[in-house]
Amino acid sequence: MPSSRSPRRSGRRHPLMGGLLLVIGLFVTGGAYAAASTGIAHAQDAPVSQEALVEEGEKLFLANCASCHGMNSEGSVAGPSLIGVGALSVDFQVGTGRMPMAASGPQAEVKPVQFTQPQIDAMAAWVASLAPGPGLPDPKYYAGDGDVANGAELFRINCAMCHNVAGAGGALTEGKYAPHLRDLQPIHVYGAMVTGPQNMPVFSDMNLSPEEKNDVITYLKYLDENPSVGGFSLGSLGPVSEGLFIWLIGLGGLIAVAVWLTARSN
């Protein structure tokens, strides 16, 4: 056997050079795009006045929202009017990535958030300036330091039928669903309760008081901080996942054991 090296292809370039060039090219292009797009959406980080904030918000609104919600937020075929929805709605919808929506429909899915918090605040200020509506609450009402037992009880009566007792989510009619509630920001939970996004009912402060809302948030926080005591929770989906598990892993495993047991020894 002559040389142990594999024969070189013709040319003076190293065979891996092509791959390396490709990788470098991708990094350069991607980096340039990222820099450019940040520049496009980038707004001033610290607006100095409320007016500046509202103005910034209007610019962002016109660029990102007006195509569905109308140039004056009056609504259109593709999206409802935002007049009167308040700053809290914007903070929830945009802050969870639901807005801008990929396509108009009855279920806004959670997606990666497309704006920074200052940008969200700006858009919220703009929408709030159109007409009175629910504003951001006092932070003490979503601090998560309320009565966890009261919160759990309120959750079971008002929320569990759609979101499941452990906040694992559930089905609604015609393909809609109530999403899971794990690892959410408390302000977003508060916002959803007050504004009743899409098909979620409205839980105004006259239905659930701010203290009661804090209790609910406290319960959700408890669920996040205390994993299931019995072990892996199998998605907290109840008997369905437990049944699947026992058939596939339990019985399947024992059948494997039985096959080993009845096999001839070597």
Partner 1 sequence: MADKPPASDVETSGHDDAMDPGTAVERSNTPQNPGLAPEHQRVTDLDDKEAKGMERRISLFFLLSIVGSVFAAVAYVIFPIIPGDMGSVRMNNLTVGLGLSVALLGVGIGAVQWAKALMHGHQLVEERHPTRGSEESRQAAVETFQQANKESGFTRRSLIRNTLFGALLAAPIPAVVLFRDLAPAEDPIELMKTTMWTEGVRLTRDPSGVPIRATEVTIGSAFHVVPDGWKDLEHGKLEEKAKAAVLLMRLPVDELNEDPAKTDWSYQGIVAYSKICTHVGCPVALYEQQTHHLLCPCHQSEFDVANHCEVIFGPAARPLPQLPITIDAEGYLVARSGFTEPVGPSFWEREL
Partner 2 sequence: MSTTIESTPQADVGRGMRFTNWAANYVDERTSASTAVKTLGRKIFPDHWSFMLGEVALYSFIVILISGTFLTFYYDPSMSHVPYEGSYLPLKGIEMSVAYHTSLDLSFDIRGGLLMRQVHHWAALLFVASTALHMLRVFFTGAFRKPRELNWIVGFLLFVLAMAEGFTGYSLPDDLLSGNGLRIIDGMIKAFPVVGVWISYLFFGDQFPGMEVIPRLYVLHIMLLPAILIATLAIHMVLLVVNKHTQFAGPGRTNDNVVGSPVMPVFAAKAGGFFFLVFGVIMLIASLFTINPIWNYGPYDPSPVSAGTQPDWYIGFADGALRLVPPGWEFVLFGYTWAMNILAPTVVLIVFLGAVAVYPFFEAWVTGDKREHHIAERPRNAPTRTGIGAAGVVFYAVLWAAASSDLIATHFKMTIEGVINTLQVLLILAPIAAFIITKRTCLALQRKDREIALHGYESGRIVRLPGGEYVEVHEQLDDYERWRLLDYNDYQPLTVRPNDEGRITVGTKLRAGVSRWFFEDRVLPIEAKELEGAGKH
Binding partner selected for residue 24 from partner 2, partner 1, none, CB under the kind-specific 5 to 8 Å limit: none
C-beta separation of 167 from 177 below 8 A: no
CB of 86 to partner 2, least distance (A): 28
C-beta separation of 87 from 134 below 8 A: yes
**Near partner 1 in 11-50, by CB under 8 A:** none
Distance separating alpha carbons of residues 200 and 179, to the nearest angstrom: 11
CB of 238 to partner 2, least distance (A): 5
CA torsion, points 165, 171, 173, 175, in degrees to nearest 10?
160
Q: Can you tell me which of 202, 244, 251, 255 binds partner 1, judged by CB under 8 A?
A: 202
What is the rounded end-to-end Cα distance, in angstroms, of the chain?
Answer: 42
CB of 229 to partner 1, least distance (A): 4
Tokens 């009565």, located at residue: 147
Q: Can you tell me which of 55, 153, 211, 224 binds partner 1, judged by CB under 8 A?
A: 153
Q: Can you tell me which of 71, 131, 149, 202 binds partner 2, judged by CB under 8 A?
A: 149
- 160 sits near partner 2 (criterion: CB under 8 A): yes
Distance separating alpha carbons of residues 41 and 215, to the nearest angstrom: 37
- Judged by CB under 8 A, the stretch of 6-14, 25-33, 75-83, 156-164 that binds partner 2 is 156-164
C-beta separation of 142 from 189 below 8 A: yes
Q: Which of 187, 219, 221, 191 is nearest to 203 (CA)?
A: 191
- 77 sits near partner 1 (criterion: CB under 8 A): no
Show the tokens assigned to 191.
């916002």
Nearer to partner 2, 78 or 258 (CB): 258
- 103 sits near partner 2 (criterion: CB under 8 A): no
**Near partner 2 in 240-259, by CB under 8 A:** 240, 242-247, 249-251, 253-255, 257-259
Q: Can you tell me which of 111, 140, 156, 182 binds partner 2, judged by CB under 8 A?
A: 156
- 266 sits near partner 1 (criterion: CB under 8 A): yes
Q: Can you tell me which of 105, 171, 182, 204 binds partner 2, judged by CB under 8 A?
A: 171
Distance separating alpha carbons of residues 65 and 112, to the nearest angstrom: 16
- 184 sits near partner 2 (criterion: CB under 8 A): no
The enclosing H or E element of 177 equals: strand 177-178
CA distances from 167 to 93, 115, 266 (A): 19, 26, 52
Binding partner selected for residue 177 from partner 1, partner 2, none, CB under the kind-specific 5 to 8 Å limit: partner 2
- 231 sits near partner 2 (criterion: CB under 8 A): yes
Show the tokens assigned to 133.
């509506």
Neighbours of 178 (CB within 10 A): 19
Residues in contact with partner 1 by CB under 8 A are: 106, 153, 157-158, 161-162, 170-174, 176, 196, 198-204, 206-207, 226-231, 260-261, 263-266
